Structure 1
Amino acid sequence: HPADDWTRHWTGSNQNLCSMVRIDGKVLRLLSRAEERFPKMESAGVNVQPTRTIYEFAGGGVALTLTFTTPLLPDDLNVMSRPVTYMTWEARTYDGKEHDISVYYDNSAELVVNSTDQKVLWSRVRVADLDVLSMGSQDQRILERSGDDLRIDWGHFFVASPRSQNAVTACVSADAARSTFVEHGTLPASDDLRMPRQANDEWPVLAMVLDFGKVGKTAVQRHLILAYDDQFSIEYFHRKLRPYWRRDGAEIGDLLAAAEKEYEDLSARCRAFDEKVGHDLLEVGGQHYNQLARLAYRQALAAHKLAVDIDGTPLLFPKENFSNGCISTVDVIYPAAPIFLLFNIDLMKASVRPVLDYAQRGRWRFPFAPHDLGTYPQANGQVYGGGEKTEENQMPVEESGNMLILMAAIARVEGSSAFAEKYWGILTKWAQYLKEKGLDPENQLCTDDFAGHLAHNVNLSLKAILALGSYAKLSEMMNKPDEAKVYRKIAEEYAAKWEQMARDGDHYRLAFDKPGTWSQKYNLVWDGILDLRLFPPDVAQKEVRYYKKMQNKYGLPLDNRKDYTKLDWTVWSATLAESREDFDALISPLYDFADQSPSRVPLTDWYDTKTAKQMAFQARSVVGGVFVKMLADEKVWRRWSVTSK
């Protein structure tokens, strides 16, 4: 029930939104633990869709629906980049009577500070046809902090109601707002002007009360707009970048006005998008896959920031959440890639473009691809491992392979190598590196760096071989037949050697020099998606048969060393299956994990397959990789790519 706990930021810190309903003078809680002296309105279900979460309640003869809608429509970058969520309450009666209904909303100042000892200010804002309240930190330390366990403490939060709803509004303490609603069904007549003050000093809130009047069997609806204006989003090599929605000079008033004007249209578009995505998910992967991917959609996109460069070019920056806080980590971009390759190739290009531009700069002096661009939100140069100074603790084969595969994927979706041509020099350098170092990798880290260094990594070798095949494919598309022939031959020879070196009876090893071991070969999924066909089909099917024997109650371990797994990689491994039966056999335990895990956090991608407990990681963009099954169905991805703008 959404009233069982405080609403939280993805890091776990409280960022409270509160909602209650008053039915004929009786108060029931909808959202947040606030006012626990009152009962919760009985839950009648929850429905998670790609762009919406829908809570159903019932009680006292009233059916009430609370819908959160975030229009993350990938074919419309202007709308997708808006920092806007709609909250919609809809009420009707089912007992044949009319009931007097009003709804209460508030948000705490926790939403605008990193820690609650920071001071905040609040105000009213004049925007045509809207009642608007605003709140922000006093200090406004724009882009000053970087790290993982942080919350934004610059910019301003806004809540807006169309004037036609005649909302009662107030900027007061939480206790004053809530007690006035409980006792009188309204809010204090005057705002609290004692500011600035700490966010935890009598907990100042922005509050609104929406009166539904007498409600019968015909549904009555009210909505609010929640928005956050950060003004500047990313520091990109010491330049402050605006959010994409501001690219033509738009201000927060323009945003709020457009959000209200387009409310009905965007609500309809979100419903249509959700229905279409759900249909295709169900078609390609079944019900469990459908529900898992719907759960992952908003998280995958929300872990990115879409900014705009000075020339209007979109740049998409992921944060490595609940790990080290890196920005634009290549081995985070790689697992998240399927969602962008599927829904809008421009977003995929916007994600890799900052890495490619950085690698072309003179300051990146290594023959392999970088790992990251810094620590979020400051993209000023790699900080992981040896950074820009040494090769210590880098991921040379991993990141070079990732970038080459992704560039080939972009070219396949676009049907053109034009994007790769701009960066051909560094792509060639990385291909040359993999030709020398990729078949039998030295002792180094891969994306699963929590497992430590590993020499002769079979799955990492697989990635390098597919990357060489990707480079050959790009060369062919660029009308470089000699280069294509050379690298295709190398990739084919390496694939044949790999099969011999990795073979271990009825499966393939974790490391070439470790008989009796095994691991997920999730990288193999690109052999089919990119139509490389470097490995015989039986390689994948042999692995799938073995995976079915080795999985635990909540999924397939990453390899033989530990019981933990990665959600994204397991979906990639399941996508290797030729039959729906085998795919379902590997996906159903993942659904059970998400449904039964005692770790109630934003969807984790790293958990124990026996206990379903989170190992670490949460709210990460990598869950976008769940959409790889749709990407692997050419008919489906071509259908979606046609609709991208």
Structure 2
Amino acid sequence: MLPGLLLLYTLLWTHTATARPASQTVFAADASFSPLDDSHHSPSFSPLLPPAIPLAVKSPYLNALLPTGGDGGSKGYLAGSWARHWPVHYPGSPRDYRLSWAGLIRIDGTTYEFLGAPLSDSKSSLGPARVARQTAFEYTATKSVFSFEAGNVTFKATFLSPVTPNDLVRQSLPFSYLSIDVDPDAAQNHFISVYTDISGEWASGDPNANLTWTYTSGSGIGVHAVSRREQLVFSEFAEQAEWGEAVLATELRRETVAGSGEVNDLRGTFIKHGRLDGTHDAAYRKMDDRQPVFGFSVQITPSRPSAVFTIGHVRQPYVNFVTPEGQVPLAGLWTTRFSRPLDAISYFQYSYPRTSREAARFDEQVRRDAQRVSGDNYAALVELSTRQAFATFELTTGVTEDWREDKEGVMAHLKEISSNGDMSTIDVIFPLHPILLYTNPTLLALLLEPILVYTHSGLYPNRWPVHDLGTYPNATGYNDGNDEPMPVEEAGNMLWCVRLMALVYFQLTADKPWVEKHYEVFKSWTTFLTDDGLVPAEQLSTDDFAGTLSNQTNLAVKAIVGIGAMSELAKGVGRWTDGIHYRAVAEAYVREWTALAMTETGGARHAKLAYQDDGSWGTLYNLFGDRLLNLKLFDRQLYADQSSWYAGKAQKYGVPLDSRHVWTKTDWEVFAAASATDKKGRELFINLLVDYLKAGKVDAAFPDLYETTTANFPGRDGLDWPIYFISRPVVGGHFALLALEKANGANGVEENPFGG
């Protein structure tokens, strides 16, 4: 998961001169106003101010966020700072990951900035910066909503990245919305127009790339499309796709005008006239040569007090998949319904009313369910995690039995964002799975499909599952067996997830043939765990940033859970002899594990980190599998002992992962919370996680690895070494409490068998 090179980076978010310094004075409604001065009506942030605010977050390559925390963050103000692609900016990186996305509103002849820094940018020559006064910010599972006042007019900017887990084609659409909604009464009494543009930074991570662009109108919409002139298919630069097109689109209603050109010319035209003049610049030059931007101006009227824009990144094909016959390019799933990108964009643009209503219902359900399970703090965690988790994987067409593209089939491919870009990493799919179990378990089956297809190809030679399939978007496999070695980890993960499929998904569809199809593969992995799982040799676990270790107690728990899961799978398809055998093995291993793993320190009984180290301890997050799958392998007293131990080890912002360091992982904290024996133990983890977010020390999308004493990235405060895990799929693990509730329902288990 973590390449050695990453350990050498001294990673820092650098808020460049293009962002507004904290001391800069800006203006709103013709009055002096500093947005960072609490005495001037600072905005409210609900449910909290996250370390980075999701704007357009829909895929690994459409991942625009507004950093808020740390010394250089925006502090939650949409105006005055540029959006960024997800990576942390580190010294020597090829670019600062800025995504220029500007928003202006003109009210009765005066123009105000509300998105990005088109006026307050130190490089701007467009006159004094007037900035709309932000009055509030709120996020839900799918939306980030900013409220403003300017020129006696109130309006909202809503960023909606749809999550439609039960409509796979719509989920596969690589687009997001920006909606500007003006108070209808104000639209009657004021002359108002809005403007937005994007730059070529959305089309390539290479600042030296030659760009080309087009403007197309059809089906009632206008579409700007910008791309590299030389397409580098299946290639990245600075974590962005170097093939495909960035798009900005809107409905072509009366008084909507499109334009492209040099940045100050285009924005200056809107500032002066309140509308663009319809001119388009020559469609070829470098990104930084008279920076070209691509925008729309829209007049707001009493009958149409809103303007809705579509932003996205369209690629053809999506991924490069390994087969015995060679690499097969797979297309995005949306192409099975829409033959042209224009058709998909038009559908998406005109679907906004429906999508907005559905998003509101989805948001309400997530919030209500999370509050019921563990209160407002838990709701704040899972809502912030939703878009991030869903934007880390993409849905494509599948592969036929003769190794060709299957237009009727479906696969899902995950990118291990930030840690090293691996593709379909099993031990990253694993912590993602709770959000999928909660929303639609089909998605977990689709993420496992590429792993199983590759396994059945016979190309991978090892006894255990492959760690990953390559580096995104190239699933090249490891035909020499030389992938990152996590044999016990990945075998346990696969059997855990497969049992969930049989329990929650295939049980509902009575699809026993799916288990039968893969049964011999599952059985071979279980045999490996039986041989090597109870006493794991020195090896990596999923927490590979901590290095190798022998006799890991938590890793042995995963092996035992995997063997127990296989017992249930075998019984489910009538293989009773196998089922009885594997259950007996798992129960015997629990007894041996207890003797090897448990110790007592200061009168408190707890699990060691490793069998041989009596002075060690660790977070036993893999115990969650015993609860989730209702295996009842481990004694209830173990859960109680661990809950008490964690409470005594808690730091200011969390419970450390183990006795070696003060860092922790957010996903494993919630796994441990879901294994707690009472409400107090559960809320310990949840509340400390919220304290971590509220501390405001980090400045990137929900980092899942942090120091429990400082609430900062490892290495930022001189502790440990620099590791920056951001925007990763693993935040799906924050749904562990909701996943447990769903699994309990499938198992016929009461909501909390431990009581409390």
TM-score band w.r.t. shorter chain: over 0.9
**Secondary structure in structure 1 of the residue aligned to 2:608:** coil
On the 8 A contact 1:176/1:188 being kept in 2, the answer is: no
1:435-446 correspondence to structure 2 within 5 Å: 435-446=530-541
Cα displacement (A) at 1:591: 0.9
Matches of 1:165 and 1:400 in 2, distance apart?
A: 59
1:27-66, aligned counterparts within 5 Å?
27-36=111-120, 37-66=128-157
Aligned residue for 1:233? Answer: 318
Structure 1 CA distance, aligned partners of 2:665 and 2:585?
Answer: 31
Residue 348 of structure 1 deviates from its aligned partner by 0.6
1:548/1:586 contact within 8 Å kept: no
How many residues are aligned here? 628
2:222–2:249: 8 Å Cα contact kept in structure 1? Answer: yes
Counterpart-to-counterpart distance in 2, 1:464 and 1:418 = 25
2:271 to 172, 175, 182: 182
| 2:453 partner letter | D
Could you give the per-residue CA deviations for residues 479-518 of structure 1, whole angstroms, max 9, x where no partner exists?
A: 0111100000000011111122111122111001100211
Native 8 Å contact 1:631 1:637 kept in 2? no
Provide the secondary structure at the position in 2 that maps to 1:164.
Answer: coil
Question: Is the Cα contact below 8 Å between 2:437 and 2:742 reproduced in 1?
Answer: no
Asked if residue 207 in structure 1 is aligned to residue 302 in structure 2, the reply is no
Q: Output the CA distance in 2 between the equivalents of 1:538 and 1:636.
A: 20
1:369-388 equivalences in 2 (<5 Å) = 369-382=465-478, 388=480
Residue number in structure 1 paired with 2:552: 457
Q: 1:19-47: CA deviations, max 9, x gaps?
A: 01112222221111221041321112211
Unmatched 5+ residue regions in structure 1?
640-645
User: Residue 326 of structure 1: SS of its match in structure 2?
Assistant: coil
Which of 613, 617, 630 is the aligned partner of 2:712?
Answer: 613
1:362 lines up with 2:466 in the alignment: no
Separation in 1, partners of 2:256, 2:683: 49
Q: What is the correspondence of 1:313-324 to structure 2 with a 5 Å cutoff?
A: 313-324=409-420
Which is further off, 302-311 or 509-518? 302-311
What is the one-letter code of the residue matched to 2:87? Answer: T
| Superposition pairs of residues 147-162 of structure 1, within 5 angstroms | 149-162=238-251
| Counterparts of residues 532-611 of structure 1 (less than 5 Å) | 532-611=631-710
Aligned match of 2:566: 471
Displacement over 6 Å in runs of 4+: 93-97
On the 8 A contact 2:207/2:288 being kept in 1, the answer is yes
Deviation of 1:604 (Å): 0.7
Partner Cα separation in structure 1 for residue 663 and residue 204 of structure 2: 35
Q: CA deviation at 1:340?
A: 1.2
Structure 1 counterpart of 2:112, one-letter code: L
Q: Deviations over 1:98-146 (max 9, x none)?
A: 2221111000110001212101111111321112222111011121x25
The 5 A counterparts of 1:92-103 are 92=183, 98-103=189-194
Bigger drift between 373-382 and 420-429 goes to: 420-429
CA positional deviation for 1:249: 5.4
Aligned 8 A contact 1:93 1:99 in 2: no
Q: Does the aligned pair in 2 maintain the 1:340–1:347 contact within 8 Å?
A: yes
Which stretch shows the higher mean deviation, 30-39 or 526-535? 30-39
- How far 1:4 moved relative to its partner? 3.4
Instruction: Give the Å deviation of 1:245.
Output: 0.5
**SS in structure 1 opposite 2:565?**
helix
Q: Given residue 162 of structure 1, which amino acid in structure 2 is its aligned partner?
A: E
Is 1:272 paired with 2:361? Answer: yes
Structure 2 residue corresponding to 1:431, chosen from 526, 531, 536 = 526
User: Quick check: 2:211–2:286 contact (8 Å CA) kept in 1?
Assistant: yes
The answer to whether the 8 Å contact 2:193/2:275 transfers is no
Q: Which SS does the other structure have where 1:370 is aligned?
A: coil
TM-score (norm 2): 0.81
1:89 & 1:192 partners in 2: Cα distance?
26
Aligned amino acid, residue 169 of structure 1? A
Q: Distance in 1 between matches of 2:561 and 2:546?
A: 23
1:480 correspondence with 2:568: no
Question: Is the CA contact 2:147–2:155 (under 8 Å) kept in the aligned structure 1?
Answer: yes
CA positional deviation for 1:634: 3.4
Query: Over residues 169-220 of structure 1, what are the superposed CA-to-partner deviations in whole Å (9 max), with x where a residue is unaligned?
Result: 1011111111111222122442111x4211111111111111114x6xx992
How far the C-alpha of 1:94 sits from its partner, in A, is: 8.0
- Give the residue type in structure 2 aligned to 1:24: D
> Aligned residues: percent identity?
29
**CA shift digits 1:452-471 (9 cap, x unpaired):** 00000000000000000000
Does the 8 Å contact 2:438/2:742 carry over to 1? Answer: no
Q: Does the 8 Å CA contact 2:164/2:171 hold for their aligned counterparts? A: yes
Shift of 1:294: 0.5
SS in 2 for 1:507: strand
Per-residue CA distance 1:514-539 (angstroms, 9 max, x = gap): 00211111111111111100001121
SS of residue paired to 2:259? strand
Map of 2:427 onto structure 1: 331
Alignment of 1:275-314 (within 5 A): 275-309=364-398, 310-311=405-406, 312-314=408-410
> Hey, what does 2:84 align to over in structure 1?
8
Aligned CA RMSD, in angstroms, stands at: 1.9
| Structure 2 CA distance for partners of 1:102 and 1:496, relative to 1, 3 Å | same
**CA separation of 1:186/1:367 partners in 2, compared to 1, >3 Å: closer, same or farther?**
same
Kindly provide the CA deviation profile for residues 555-600 of structure 1, in whole angstroms up to 9, marking residues without a partner as x.
1111011011111110100111132222112111101112223221
Deviation at 1:428, TM superposition (A): 0.9
Q: Which runs of 5+ in 2 are unaligned?
A: 1-76, 89-96, 121-127, 399-404, 715-723, 748-756
Deviations 1:424-444 (A, max 9, x none): 121111100000100010000
Report the Cα distance in structure 1 between the residues aligned to 2:575 and 2:188, rounded to whole angstroms.
76
AA partner of residue 619 (structure 1): S
SS in 1 for 2:183: strand
Q: What SS class does the counterpart of residue 375 from structure 1 fall into?
A: coil
Query: Partner of 2:172 in structure 1?
Result: 81
- Asked if the contact 1:244/1:307 (under 8 Å) is kept, the reply is yes
1-structure distance, mates of 2:368, 2:745: 13
Q: Pick the aligned partner of 2:110 from 1, 26, 31.
A: 26
Deviations 1:366-425 (A, max 9, x none): 11111000011000113xxxx73458x510000011001100011010215432221112
User: Which residue, 389, 393, 418 being the options, matches 2:513?
Assistant: 418
Shift of 1:72: 1.5
> SS of the counterpart of 1:423?
helix
Change (3 A) 1:248 1:212: closer
Matched residue, 2:742: 634
Residue 342 (1) aligns with residue 438 (2) = yes
Distance in 2 between the 1:571 and 1:165 partners?
Answer: 51
1:252 Cα deviation after fit: 0.8
Q: 1:306 deviation in Å?
A: 1.1
Aligned to 1:643: none
- Superimposed CA distance per residue, residues 316-336 of structure 1 (whole angstroms, 9 cap, x where no aligned partner): 111111112110011111010
> Do 2:629 and 2:743's aligned partners in 1 also have CA atoms closer than 8 Å?
no
